[in-house]
Amino acid sequence: MTDEGEPKLYVNRWGDASAPSRGGPEPEPEPATDVCSCFAGSRPRPGAGVGFHSERQDTSAPGWQRLLELVDEAAADGREEFRPLVELSSEERRQVVTLPPSIAKLTAVKHLMLYGSNLVRIPPEIGAMSSLEEFTPYTSYRLHWFPYEITRCRKLVSSTVSTRALFGNYKLRPPFPHLESSQDSVTELDTAHLDPQRWGATSVHQCSVCERPVGQSGLHQVWISLRVATDVLPLLVNACSSACVAGLPDGAEDYIRTPHKGGRVDQPPSDWD
């Protein structure tokens, strides 16, 4: 038999990224993610609105408790690749809708694998993962945006994101959630206990730009689309002042070039126009 007649073997890049390791050889019947119908799979209607997911993390759930243990283990042993979801059952994975702030301790991790997660938000503490080079939240279809703090991961050069699930993506141009009015003072706003459906997060402690505590100033939320590693991502900025907003870089080419409040904002044409 010649080489030309021999069958070729192709590597499954994600073969070990999603199957729970504690469920035995048989696949588990329970889905690991919830259904998201925000805009996936169809072109948004003109003027259609979208919003933030409203789920709050149940910190008493077994999946969350196990995730906290896994983060501590990874921080302690200094591993360079972190794949927490393969250590959770399907039921446990479905219980996790965000990551804990303790991911800030994962300063040795170079590859963060979150394939097929049920996440609806990533905490700003991802910006403390100073060694991060590769970020893989692929097929996390409920994850529509990312915190601006991810731009602090200066070594991040590779990403694999399901772009059709992102606000403002170039293929579909779905709208962005409309953000709350800017506030020059947060004295009457409990920034430690926020409604995620209104603010995109359950708390905001520091300015995304200058890192000052927002409790000492105000809260100015804006959207900006920037290239982060391989992909252009919609980033939510929690700035402490209009000056910090003014200091943001220009948006990515073929996207809205200035910070904006979302809602009915004009975007460049989509690939389908």
**Predicted pLDDT at 35:** 87
Quote helix, strand, coil % in the chain, to nearest 5.
20, 15, 65
Judged by DSSP in three states, 142 sits in coil
Mean of the per-residue pLDDT values of the chain:
89
124-148 pLDDT, tens digit each: 999 999 999 999 999 999 999 999 9
Cα four-point dihedral sign 124, 54, 36, 40: negative
What are the distances in angstroms from CA 253 to CA 43, 170, 271? 22, 11, 14
* DSSP-assigned letter for residue 183: B
- 113: β partners: 136
For residue 71, what is the enclosing H or E element? helix 62-77
Task: Tell me the one-letter amino acid at 226.
Answer: L
Euclidean distance between CA atoms 116 and 93, whole angstroms: 9
Contact 160, 12 (CB under 8 A): no
Per-residue model confidence (pLDDT) at position 2:
44
The confidence score (pLDDT) of residue 216 equals 81
Kindly report, residue by residue over 151-189, the tens digit of the pLDDT: 999 999 999 999 999 999 999 999 999 999 999 999 999
Average pLDDT rounded to a whole number, residues 21-30: 51
pLDDT in tens, 62-121: 999 999 999 999 999 999 999 999 999 999 999 999 999 999 999 999 999 999 999 999
pLDDT interval class at 60 (50, 70, 90): very high
Q: In this model, does residue 3 exceed pLDDT 80?
A: no
Over residues 242-253, the mean pLDDT reads 97
Is the pLDDT at 4 greater than 60, yes or no? Answer: no
* Per-residue pLDDT at 11: 43
- pLDDT at 258 exceeding the cut of 50: yes
Interatomic CA distance for residues 87 and 81, integer angstroms: 13
Top pLDDT among 193 and 13 is at 193
Which range is least confidently modeled, 28-32, 88-92, 100-104, 249-253?
28-32
Whole-number Å distance between alpha carbons of 86 and 19:
6
pTM for the model stands at 0.88
CA–CA distance, 98 with 130 (Å, rounded to integer): 20
Euclidean distance between the first and final Cα of the chain, in Å?
Answer: 50
Residue 103 sits at the vertex; the CA angle it makes with 98 and 104, to the nearest 5 degrees, is 130
Which is more confident, 244 or 38? 244
Instruction: Give the pLDDT of residue 32.
Output: 82
Q: pLDDT band at residue 39, thresholds of 50, 70 and 90?
A: confident
pLDDT band at 56 (very low <50, low <70, confident <90, very high): very high
How do beta strands 231-239 and 220-228 pair?
Answer: antiparallel
Q: Which two tokens stand for residue 142?
A: 């409920």
pLDDT, tens only, 196-220 = 999 999 999 999 999 999 988 899 9
Other CB atoms within 10 A of residue 181 CB = 8
Q: Sign of the C-alpha dihedral, residues 78, 79, 80, 83?
A: negative
